Amino acid sequence: MNNSTFRRAGLAVCLTAFLALATPLAASAHVHVDPGQATAGDYSTLTFKVPNESATASTTKLEIDLPTDTPFGSVSYQPVPGWSTEVVQSTLATPVKTDDGTVTEAPTKITWTADAGAGIAPGQFQLFAISVGPIPDTGSIVLPTHQTYSDGTLSNWVNPTPASGAEPEDPAPTLYVNDAPPVEAGATGTTVSATQTADSAATSSSESNSGSTSLAVGLGLGALALGAVALVISVLAFTRRNGSTKN
């Protein structure tokens, strides 16, 4: 194989490795919320991580639609330097009955707007934190998010994640309450629960430990056998040498 062939093979390997790494990174480059789970009735601090996906423009505005069918009783925000924040309070189209009474008005949107010269530049991300509660007693809460860039481009993160766990195009941040977050089981396309995943990990760990123990025992026995063979050879050589000396 000549040098040119070696170079081509090396380039192919590097390209394959780059694509393998770049694919999951590209898939994860969207707005998401942390933590992704909360307990009904509690108050929770939700942090939205907003990456800038443009190579030339900055993110200058972020809007999050809050639920109206299962509204939060209150929403407060943590100030972000260089950004102004507005929480929109609206009258609900359909009043919601709760243990505390009927809710007719609730926070329905929160908007962050960058000051002049500020914003999320290319290659950067920003965290936006809010405190919400009480958490509604429901399965999950989809939080559609709209990201505006300085060149007028708008990214709408609005699509719910299906039960299969397969990430949709433009996925919306989702807060899971009574529902368990879906977990995609790799290439099979099936879904497994967090408990099943933990059980599988424990089983794999047990099998791995068992395999490691068997391997250690095997290596120990092999070492003993080799030691015995070496001892026999040494005795025979010593005996032969002594016999030659006497003769």
pLDDT class for 45, splitting at 50, 70, 90? Answer: very high
- Residues 9 and 233: their CA atoms lie apart, in Å, by 49
H helices within 152-193, ranges in order?
A: none
Averaged over 87-92, what is the pLDDT?
95
The pTM assigned to this predicted structure is 0.65
Q: Which amino acid is at 87?
A: V
Averaged over 84-105, what is the pLDDT?
90
From residue 63, give the alpha-carbon distance in Å to each of 39, 77, 157.
24, 13, 10
Each domain of the chain, given as residue ranges in start order, spans: 31-182, 193-247
**Digit-coded pLDDT (tens) for 163-185:** 888 989 999 999 999 999 987 54
**Which 3 state secondary structure label does DSSP give 218?**
helix
206, pLDDT greater than 90: no
- Superfamily per CATH, domain 31-182: Uncharacterised protein YcnI-like PF07987, DUF1775 (2.60.40.2230)
Within 166-223, strands assigned E span: 174-176
Question: What pLDDT is recorded for position 121?
Answer: 97
**Which 3 state secondary structure label does DSSP give 74?**
strand
